[in-house]
Amino acid sequence: MTIFVCGDSTASDYPAGQTPQAGWGQHLGGFTGDVAVVNAARGGRSTKSFLSEGRLTEIEQRLSDGDTLLIQFAHNDESDLVWRHTDPWTSYTNNLSIFVDTARLYSALPVLVTPICLRLWRDGQFAESHGDYLKAMHVLARQKNVPLIDMYAYSRELVMRLGDEGSKKLYMHLEKGAYPAFPEGKADDTHTQRAGAEAFARFAAQELRRLGLITGGAM
């Protein structure tokens, strides 16, 4: 069995030259034991652009009976750019359905994964993100009887527990001069550094165990 990851920059791989930036899909294999992970997530992609670029078709050529397809999009579907944007209740759910149906066509198991939260704090209070895209994914999971990993709920709980300052260690909040790739530092509430990527990858693996899709791997 192979686990394939479809998604955007929050799940994608990053080269060593961009340390410490990392996506959760990049570290998932470290928690799945002997189950291989193919991370097909790419930065800037929405359900719309991922499909239009033929990236699902490339995965389709490798899917086989017993594989798992993890599907996590929303960040770029919310974009105003026409080549990315989808409507949560129409094109977004229609596109997600294509991923689900493609996996099932090859007897692979589709698993919907809600997006990680944005690390947004306003006047000391955590601010919700992704809105109807979250609701639409939950509805689709019920309608099509698809397992769902609620990464948003987990990331939200973790960010709230750590607080405004403590949660910066999960995301790309970097001091000036700390990393060669980011000499001026960075303050990014969307993308994760290694600590965040590993935390979310660990959670994804725990959920895969709960679903009975993997049995080994680090906890």
C-beta atoms surrounding 83 within 10 Å: 12
Domain extent listing, the chain: 2-210
9 catalytic? Reply is yes
Instruction: Give the HSE-up count for residue 162: Cα atoms under 13 Å, Cβ half-sphere.
Output: 20
pLDDT tens digits along 120-132: 999 889 999 999 9
Q: How far is CA 164 from CA 58, 150, 155, 158, 181, in A?
A: 40, 22, 13, 11, 25
Residue pLDDT, tens place only, 85-97: 999 999 999 999 9
Catalytic, out of 9, 12, 129, 155: 9
Q: Which superfamily does CATH assign the domain made up of 2-210 to?
A: SGNH hydrolase (3.40.50.1110)
pLDDT in tens, 173-182: 999 999 999 9
| C-alpha–C-alpha distance, residues 194 and 201, integer Å | 10
CA distances in angstroms from 214 to 66, 93, 146, 203, 209, listed in the order given: 11, 27, 17, 13, 5
Q: 167, 191, 198, 207: which one is catalytic? A: 191
User: Has 184 been annotated as catalytic?
Assistant: yes
Residue 216: band (very low, low, confident or very high) from pLDDT cuts 50, 70, 90: confident
Read off the tokens for 205: 């693996």
